[in-house]
Amino acid sequence: MKERSKRVLVGMSGGIDSTATCLMLQEQGYEIVGVTMRVWGDEPQDARELAARMGIEHYVADERIPFKETIVRNFIDEYKQGRTPNPCVMCNPLFKFRVLTEWADKLNCAWVATGHYSRLEERNGHIYIVAGDDDKKDQSYFLWRLGQDILRRCIFPLGDYTKIKVREYLAEKGYEAKSKEGESMEVCFIKGDYRDFLREQCPELDTEIGPGWFVNSEGVKLGQHKGAPYYTIGQRKGLEIALGKPAYVLKINPQKNIKDNRIIYEQYNAEYHKRKH
């Protein structure tokens, strides 16, 4: 075992990005310890096999129950309140990086690394999160709530790479099949439409909140909606209401009372939005 300062705990999903992270850090002389957080779904067999191929320590942290009780519960509750959650922004500081740092301490690792497309810079004694080089994959905003104590231990090797370059790197290192895999899911615990997930996890949702009315900004009823949790502010498509002109969701009032369970629908003015943005 190398000294603590050369041991890095890598959050290892078994996907493209965490695989490249492990290989890059190995090349830099670090001793890699892989930890796969099992928060949903099946046993992480891919991660186990990759760790064995790379010859690194590997552990599975079974966090399914606490993950469901915190991150998934919050995801459902936010939609119930008419808000659109970003589970990654909540998960990273309160769950993912907390668990990874706890395991890093337990396994004598000075550093924690993940496959986020982000960079870190030190300025005037503070660590700043900086956008990654790939503007299409930049994930710095997912990390904005991490504290200085955690950021000082973090390494993000992919921050200087584009996704295309990461795929090329894996292929060059003999992981060609891995390099051709598809993108990971936007929300790790949802496969498919989030509305189906809400109904599956909360069967009483439709009864609890129920349908209501689309109204315009003057309060005129335009048609019925299926329930506030199934819509997001700014949504234009999939509303199943015909007005003969483009419109979007301006505001959501998710209250049960039929008088209040309203989604305010506003005409979309493309020229106005073009000027504003």
**Which among 231, 261, 265 is positioned nearest to 248, based on CA atoms?**
265
Whether 235 and 249 have beta carbons less than 8 Å apart is answered as yes
Residue labelled with tokens 């890598």: 10
Catalytic residues: 91, 188
Residue labelled with tokens 């891995």: 178
Residue labelled with tokens 């992919």: 158
